Amino acid sequence: MRQTAVPELVRSRRLLTGYFAGLGVVMAVFGARMPAVQNAAEVTTAGLALVLLAAALGTVTGLQAGGRLARPTRLPALLTGGAIALAACLAVLGLCSSLDILLAAAFAFGIAHGVLDVAANAAAVRCQDAHGRPIMGRLHASYSLGALLGAAATAHTSHTVLFAAVAVGAAAAAGATTRLTRTVASPALEPVHPGAAPGSPEQRRLSRRRLWLLGALAAATLLGEGAAADWASVHLHDLGATAATSAAAYGCYSAAMAAGRLAGDRLTARFGAGTVVRTGAALAALGLATGLAGSTTASALFGWTAFGLGLSVTIPSLITAAGTGGPRAVATVAVTGYVGLLAGPALIGALTTVTALPHALLLPALLAASVAVLAPKALEKATP
C-alpha cells in the first residue's frame, strides 16, 4: 500500500462507517413508524400491505439499477444522489395523507434504498481491497448499531418530526459523501493485491454457479434475519413472557449480531472467511435449535442470541466474495438475499398453520446448518 493513500483510506473508512450507520437508522425508523403513518393517512391494513410491497419492489428495482450503474467513478454521485433522494422520500412519507401518494413515496424510497445499498457495499469492497484486510464486518456492524439507535428513537417521538429529523440528517450526510470523490473513486485507492486480468484463473473463480451459490446462502441467512425480526418476540410471548421480555428477544439477536460483526474482521483475517462463517453458522443452527427445544424464556433468549451471533459474519463475507465479480455481482447477491428476507416471515407463518411455531422456526436453523456445510466452497479465497 502506498503511504500517500493512508489518509484517504482512513477518511473513506470513517465516512462509510457513518453511512452504514445512517442507513440502519433510516430503515429502522421506516419500519417502526409505519403503523403511525398508516393512522395518519387513514390507510387500511390491506393498504399498508400494498405500501410495504411497493417499498420492497422499489428496493429490488434499486438494487438492480445500482448494480448496472455502480462504477468507481460513479460511486460518489450514487451515494450523494441516493442520500438526497432517500431524505426527500422519507420526508414525504411523514406527510402523506392519501394512499396514492404513500405508494409512490414508498416505491421511490425503496429505489433510493436499493441504489444506496449497492453503492455503499461496492464502495466498502473497494475500500477493503485497498486496506488489504477485512473491514466489512465493522461496516455492517455500524448498520446494526444504527438500526438499534433508530428503533430506540421511535419510542416517544411524533412520526412527522422523526421522519423530518432523519431526513435532514440524511441530506446533511449527502454533502459529506462528495468527499468520497477523493477516496473510493480515487486512483490512489488501488487494491494491495490488484485483481487478476480478465480470463485468468483467479478472475474465473467467480463463475455464474458460484455467484448463485453466494446468493442462495444470502437468501438462507436473511430468511433467518426476517424470522428473528417478525417471530422472535412471538415465540417468547407464546412461552408466557411479558411484553417487555418478548420484545427483548430481537434486541438480544441484534446486539449479538453487532458484537459478532465487530469481532468478525479479526477472526476472518486470522482463520479465513470460510472457516469463520462455517463455525458461526453451525453455532447459529445449534443455538436456535437448543432454544426452540427448551420451554423456558431463558432458553429462548439464549437461542436467539446465539443465532444472531452465529450469523453475524455471514453477509459481510458473502458481499466480500461477490465483490470480486464487481458491483453487478454484489447486486445479484443482494437481490437474491432480499428475496429470502421478504419470503421468510410469510413462509414461517404458513408453516404455523400446519405445525407449532417452534417446529416452524426450525426452518431457519436448518438453513443455517446448510450455510455451515456450503460456506467453505462458496467462500474459498474470499478473505482480503
pLDDT single digits (tens) 251-267: 889 889 999 999 999 99
Q: Which three cell numbers stand for residue 371?
A: 450455510
- Lowest mean pLDDT segment, chosen from 181-185, 200-204, 334-338, 350-354: 200-204
Q: What is the rounded average pLDDT of the residues 69-80?
A: 81
Nearest to 63 by CA among 140, 116, 120, 7: 116
CA–CA distance, 314 with 267 (Å, rounded to integer): 12
pLDDT-derived band at 61, boundaries 50, 70, 90: very high
Q: What is the rounded average pLDDT of the residues 217-243?
A: 90
The per-residue pLDDT for 249 is 87
| pLDDT higher than threshold 80 for residue 65 | yes
Quick one: CA torsion of 352, 353, 356, 359, rounded to 10 degrees?
A: -50
CA–CA distance, 141 with 24 (Å, rounded to integer): 10
pLDDT-derived band at 250, boundaries 50, 70, 90: confident
The per-residue pLDDT for 169 is 61
pLDDT-derived band at 184, boundaries 50, 70, 90: low
The per-residue pLDDT for 235 is 92
Instruction: Work out the mean pLDDT of the chain and round it to a whole number.
Output: 82
Q: What is the rounded average pLDDT of the residues 99-114?
A: 91
pLDDT-derived band at 381, boundaries 50, 70, 90: low
pLDDT-derived band at 164, boundaries 50, 70, 90: low
| pLDDT higher than threshold 70 for residue 153 | no
Q: What is the rounded average pLDDT of the residues 230-240?
A: 89
Contacts of 243 (CB under 8 A, 6+ apart): 237
CA–CA distance, 218 with 281 (Å, rounded to integer): 12
CA–CA distance, 40 with 381 (Å, rounded to integer): 51
pLDDT-derived band at 108, boundaries 50, 70, 90: very high
